[in-house]
Amino acid sequence: MEGSISLAMPEGAASPPEPVLELRPNLSFAARNALAARDVREGIGLWRLIWKLGWLDILLRYRGSVLGPFWLTLSTAIMIAALGFLYAKLFHVNLHAYLPFLALSIILWNFLSTLVSEACTCFTQAEGTIRSIRMPFFLYAGRMLVRNVLVLAHNLPVIAAIFLIFSVWPGMAGLYVLPAFALWLVDGIAVAFLLGAFCARFRDVPPIVASVMQIGFFVSPIIWQPTTLSPRWRPLLPINPFYTLLEVVRGPLLGQAPAPVVWLSAVGYSAAICGLSWLLLVRARHRVAFWI
């Protein structure tokens, strides 16, 4: 049921009008779709507030720390250096070719996995705000996305240093990273809507999502290169959504333009995520406040 408040003024009465609650049947799909679209438009209009809230999250997370988020940069650099030398020996690969691949893969994967993990709680963590003030749900999804993009930006010096040491230059192929990262941003908002609402309703879903991401790490070419697979199994890689969504950003930065099948797979999976997210937003947007 949808509720609305109207003001009724009895004839001849001098007292102020009293609010009257009117209950109406559920809105049609077209009306719900219009409300969801308005939520997105109003959220985009608050982009300055979204940016400030995301930056505030970073400040609060590392309040009192000397290096702040650069502790994450330092730990990432140490881990990449240790794993790079170890796995280069184990896999019998050239360190100059493997270490830039590993560094880029781990940093990008950490961004994706953290984004998915925090998407599960982007609404439940904002319970107090959602219950106290009416704001577009896009605001909470965008805040989570901005926060993780800022963390990713703190790890970019590690990639730049490794590329400089090993003389890696993406060339013109690096321009493909612009539409690929834009695709990531759209997917980040869609995942936040999808998992945020679904996990608000079913609280046992976040551990399942964490397990899926852990499995995805091992079955995707992150610590191992796609060339290590036999030619028989290599054409099956685009079936893996983690691989295609990662490769459209990783490949251009390594100077390799992604194959058309990789782009088609990444765009196809992104369209499916956005479609499911939109349907859930239209269906359950007005229920999230009760679920949390």
Q: Within this chain, do residues 41 and 52 fall inside the same structural domain, yes or no? A: no
Residue 288 lies in a domain: no
Each residue's pLDDT tens digit, 175-211 = 999 999 999 999 999 999 999 999 988 888 899 999 9
Q: What is the pTM of this model?
A: 0.85
Q: Within this chain, do residues 35 and 60 fall inside the same structural domain, yes or no? A: no
Q: Within this chain, do residues 16 and 80 fall inside the same structural domain, yes or no? A: no
Q: Within this chain, do residues 181 and 137 fall inside the same structural domain, yes or no? A: yes
Residue 282 lies in a domain: no
Nearest to 190 by CA among 269, 111, 109, 290: 269
According to the 3-state scheme, what is the secondary structure of 210-252?
HHHHHHHHHHCCCCCCHHHCCCCCHHHHHHCHHHHHHHHHHHH
Alpha carbon of 91 to those of 81, 96, 152, 229, 247: distances in Å? Answer: 15, 13, 28, 12, 21
Which residue type, as a one-letter code, is found at position 234? R
Residue 67 lies in a domain: yes
Residue 286 lies in a domain: no
Please list, in sequence order, all residues whose beta carbon lies within 8 angstroms of the beta carbon of residue 131, skipping any fewer than 6 positions away: 289, 292
- pLDDT, the chain, mean: 86
Q: Within this chain, do residues 143 and 40 fall inside the same structural domain, yes or no? A: no
Each residue's pLDDT tens digit, 229-251 = 888 888 888 999 999 999 999 99
Each residue's pLDDT tens digit, 115-139 = 999 999 999 988 888 888 888 999 9
Query: Is the pLDDT score of 15 beyond 70?
Result: no
Q: Within this chain, do residues 40 and 76 fall inside the same structural domain, yes or no? A: no
What is residue 182's predicted lDDT score, i.e. its pLDDT?
Answer: 94
Q: What percent of the chain has pLDDT over 90?
A: 43
DSSP 9-37: --TT--SPPEEEEEEEPPPPHHHHHHHHH
Number of domains in the chain: 2
What is residue 19's predicted lDDT score, i.e. its pLDDT?
Answer: 60
3-state secondary structure of 78: helix
Q: Within this chain, do residues 132 and 94 fall inside the same structural domain, yes or no? A: yes
3-state secondary structure of 127: helix
3-state secondary structure of 65: coil
Alpha-helical runs (H) found in the chain: 29-45, 47-61, 70-91, 95-119, 127-132, 137-165, 177-201, 205-219, 241-253, 260-284, 288-291
Residue 279 lies in a domain: no
Q: Within this chain, do residues 55 and 113 fall inside the same structural domain, yes or no? A: yes
Domain membership of residue 217 as a residue range: 48-272
Residue 287 lies in a domain: no
Question: Measured between alpha carbons, how far is 20 from 165 in angstroms, rounded to an integer?
Answer: 71
Confidence band of 2 (pLDDT split at 50, 70, 90): very low
Residue 214 lies in a domain: yes
Q: What percent of the chain has pLDDT over 70?
A: 89
Contact 274, 186 (CB under 8 A): yes
Question: Within 13 Å of residue 26, how many CA atoms lie on the same side as its CB?
Answer: 11
Q: Within this chain, do residues 267 and 161 fall inside the same structural domain, yes or no? A: yes
Q: Within this chain, do residues 36 and 53 fall inside the same structural domain, yes or no? A: no
Q: Within this chain, do residues 236 and 260 fall inside the same structural domain, yes or no? A: yes
What is residue 73's predicted lDDT score, i.e. its pLDDT?
Answer: 81
Q: Within this chain, do residues 5 and 147 fall inside the same structural domain, yes or no? A: no
